[in-house]
Structure 1
């Protein structure tokens, strides 16, 4: 991993949400993470999956989980992209593809358990849009499991597990984390 030159000022938005590991203050509309991987943070779970460019734009068009057929096609394509990113030693791209596989699983599970995918009652408070969680809203009761969405979830879960346990991914993740730590200690 080579150190990219970082401009004197990193585009940032006014702070809305703080995370211990994912920096939501970055101005994601202005940053190309392929050119500036030093700004990327893995975060927890799916953090940043719909923010980090150009990967979001590359992967999102292939992300579908409506039924088993779409889930197979989608997860296979995204996993192929994951492998391609690994082959190019583009850890950020590989991690984003992994996050899309994870999100395919979690969203399909949500739709399997909740008609229309709505898990909480009431609107999301304006200051909490884009964040996960109840934010004071009541959780809706689960419906009888939708077998179509459950099947889609299983397909994504298998690919997500393959991605997160892939030996090259694990190796590149460790290398990336060490590189980020070395930048922070400079």
Structure 2
């Protein structure tokens, strides 16, 4: 058995369309291609990042690579959600207290209290708006929708 991650470009049948941002840090080779492009700390970074990821999204579509396009869409979504979290919670910390050891890597509060919302950070809120526009554009793309439907029909 090897520790090499599965190459989803070579084996697209192993990719399952999932909700939200699942797979963004594990589906290779797309993680290695997209993660270095993903930045959201300032509107300038968000603009450059979302444009680069959207360019990758279009290139994946042009190559009929649904998995790559879906992963690019997820990075745009994650740019939005992380920017919104940092806009609402200083430092991005949403919950009070440490994550229980048996829940590391699993999302959710797990018995911890959600921290109160502070004043919205306008810089991070603008980054979120930038990513939201790009995410909406990607999600509405007709070629993406067609490839998504074909992938789901073929592989579930």
- Post-superposition shift, 1:131? 2.1
Larger radius of gyration: 1
C-alpha RMSD of matched pairs (Å):
1.4
Residues 25-55 of structure 1: per-residue CA shift (max 9 Å, x gap) = xx8x531111111111111110111110110
- Post-superposition shift, 1:124? 1.4
Partner residue of 2:97?
122
Determine the C-alpha separation between the residues in 2 that align with 1:153 and 1:49.
Answer: 18
State TM-score, norm by structure 1.
0.81
State TM-score, norm by structure 2.
0.96
- Larger RCO, structure (CA 8 Å, separation 6 or more): 2
Deviant stretches of 4+, over 6 Å: none
Any stretches of 5+ residues in structure 2 without a counterpart? none
Corresponding pairs, count: 156
Partner residue of 1:59?
34
Determine the C-alpha separation between the residues in 2 that align with 1:68 and 1:147.
Answer: 10
Any stretches of 5+ residues in structure 1 without a counterpart? 1-8, 12-26, 182-186
Partner residue of 1:131?
106
Residues 117-154 of structure 1: per-residue CA shift (max 9 Å, x gap) = 00001111222222221111110001100000000000
Which one is further off, 32-41 or 125-134? 125-134
Determine the C-alpha separation between the residues in 1 that align with 2:27 and 2:115.
Answer: 31
Greater helix share, structure number: 2
